[in-house]
Amino acid sequence: MATIQWFPGHMAKALRQIKEQMPLVDIVFELVDARVPYSTQNPEINRMAGDKPRLLIMTKTDLADPTTTAHWIDYFEQNGQPVLALDSRAHQVAKQVTVKAQQILKDQLAAERAKGMQKRAIRAMCVGVPNVGKSTLLNHLVKKNVAATGNRPGVTTGQQWLRSSADLELLDTPGVLWPKFATQTQAKMLALSGAIKDSLYPKDDVAIFALDYLRAHRTQELMTRYRLSPASLEDGVTTPDLLLEITKKMGMKDDYDRASERLIFEMRRGKLGTFTLEDPTDLEAGDEDE
């Protein structure tokens, strides 16, 4: 089984630039994928931010399991981490983010006014892993198409300041990962979510990982989508054998890679229902890697 890892030179450079710019901002907006809300947090960003206020913004909530999203919101809030779950396609996104930032920084802003300083815009840095939905959110915040969007990692390639309103200025940054993933389970979650370039990991490994999840949590959706019988999901059927059956159902004979790519694509886009690959109880259980 090949090891999944992706940390090219441009990401190392971007992290250095983020560190250099950190003193210029009041707050960090870290976007995390609601389907993988723990594993899409960047430990390097957490280290660089230090004590600086940070708002976790959960994106792609329309594709995530709503019950598990609620569990994660409770988990983050109980641990003192401000969080906002957004469907970036909805209205009032800019207002929600601005109001939340003002609440987090209310003491700092009040102290500035007490010193006679003029009211100013909050300066926020937007960070996140590749393809987390940052450009889509920024386009809502600035109310025009200033950030390129796309369902592939690496759309944003440099840092840029954007004005949302008189109350909020944003420093956009490229999507970045970190030098070494904690586990290969985390790497597969990132790959399945779209944070890693599709050309850089074995498709069948990630498809098997996806099928293990679907067998356990989305049985009916899996059976319906690929016209499977209950016998196909019995305990004695291995996941690689199940992938082979699905490959044939797709009309691809034994082309595992092409079928795997299609399964990953369809799962990402919600064709097999909403999903969240991790739960706060996983942290309590101290899951170990394979």
Residue 88 marked ligand-binding:
no
With tokens 């992290």, the residue in question is: 15
Q: Is 251 annotated as a binding residue?
A: no
Cα diameter, the chain: 73
**Burial (0-12, 13-18, 19+ Cβ within 10 Å), 146:** middle
Query: How big is the chain by its Cα radius of gyration, in Å?
Result: 20
Structure tokens at 111: 């102290």
Angle between helical axes of 134-142 and 93-104 (0-180°, round to 10): 90
Backbone φ, ψ for residue 185 (5° rounding): -65, -45
C-beta pairs of 240-243 under 8 Å, 24+ apart in sequence? 240/204, 240/208, 242/211, 242/215, 243/204, 243/207, 243/208, 243/211
Residue 25 counted as an annotated binding residue = no
Give the Å distances, CA to CA, from 73 to 77, 96, 193.
6, 16, 19
Cα-based distances in Å from 100 to 31, 48, 59, 93: 14, 22, 15, 11
Is 134 annotated in some ligand binding site? yes
144 marked as binding residue:
no
Residue 132 assigned to a binding site: yes
Would you say 80 is a known binding-site residue?
Answer: no
Instruction: Please state whether beta strands 122-128 and 27-33 pair in parallel, antiparallel, or not at all (unpaired).
Output: parallel
CB 273 within 8 A of CB 218: yes
Tell me 270's DSSP state.
T
Tokens matching residue 259: 């079928």
Q: Which residues are annotated as a binding site?
A: 131-136, 175
Q: Which residues are annotated as a binding site for GTP?
A: 131-136, 175
